[in-house]
């Protein structure tokens, strides 16, 4: 997939790819690539995806900043 070959490493991406029995997604930072694969660093760890299995890929914005849940909301 041309996009994955051209995006700068470190770009946050979502990659949909074929697996046995269907499709799955990898969401995270594009951290490596070679002639036939790319690696996406997801929350669960690195995922190596073969370009031949990719059906869709696109850059995505950074994750939202989580607010600390220490205190309950103020009463109105």
Q: What pLDDT does residue 10 have?
A: 96
pLDDT digits (tens, 9 = 90+) for 4-54: 999 999 999 999 999 999 999 999 999 999 999 999 999 999 999 999 999
Rounded Cα distance, 65 and 22, in Å: 32
Contacts with 57 (C-beta within 8 Å, 6 or more apart), sequence order: 1, 3, 4, 13, 14, 15, 16
> Looking at the predicted structure, is the pLDDT value of residue 72 above 70?
no
Q: Which pLDDT score is estimated for 67?
A: 79
């Amino acid at each position: 997939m041309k996009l994955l070959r051209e995006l700068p490493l470190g770009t946050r991406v979502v990659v949909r790819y074929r697996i046995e029995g269907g499709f799955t997604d990898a969401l995270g930072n594009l951290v490596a690539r070679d002639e036939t694969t790319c690696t996406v660093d997801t929350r669960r760890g690195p995922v190596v995806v073969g370009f031949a299995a990719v059906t869709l890929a696109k850059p995505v914005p950074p994750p939202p900043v989580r607010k600390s849940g220490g205190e309950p909301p103020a009463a109105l």
